[in-house]
Amino acid sequence: MPLRIDPIDTASTALIVVDMQNHFLAPGAPLESRAGREMIPTLCRAIALCRERGMPVVYTRQLHRQDGTDRRLSKHFWDRDAGSDGLIDGAQGAEIHPGLAPEDGDLVVPKYRYSAFYGTDLDRRLRDLGIDTVIIGGVTTENCCHATARDAFFRDFQVGFLADATATFDYPDIGHGAMSAAQVHQASLVILAASTADVMSTDDLVARTSGARTM
């Protein structure tokens, strides 16, 4: 039976905002997700709701080291990003998009791999806050959002995944066929719903927290 988190307990749930950085959202950026930019108002709605209801908001930032030592394998997969320094800490591309910047009290977690849990202290920080459920929004659906959802599941967190507040980009044909952003997004949601997460809308998030207990 698919996972259903209803109601969502606001006292034990956090929102993870994955990699909403200029490198993925700014027009013309190397890994631009137009769909990601378009869903910013929806994700902002989810962020505002969580802050209003006392739920922790966690932002992740995908970063590269200046010397490039963390890119040994990833460089084989992202030709569009080759030679870019947009995700080096301090670069404009590495900053959270100004349309949804963190506020005082939000957690900001730097990471060097797709998952927000890999090599970070996110697990400990969430457990210190009494969190056992995470809601995920951000970019990209199939990479960092998916990896973070899977890693949370592996660690026994309940996972909610916002279908209308996650997004990706088109994939070119590299020998196995091309996929549009919409196709990649849909395929990822189907897989996550069947194996990992409660795939929900932002409207669902609003409805399921409306009667939940608060801190």
- The set of catalytic residues is 19, 111, 144
Q: What is the dihedral of CA 102, 83, 26, 19, to 10 degrees?
A: -30
**Cis previous bond, 141, omega within 30:** no
Residue 61, SS3? strand
DSSP state letters, 111-177: ESSSSSSTTSSHHHHHHHTT--EEEEEEE-IIIIIHHHHHHHHHTT-EEEEEEEEEE---B--SSS-
DSSP, res 69: G
Strands 158-167 and 13-18: unpaired
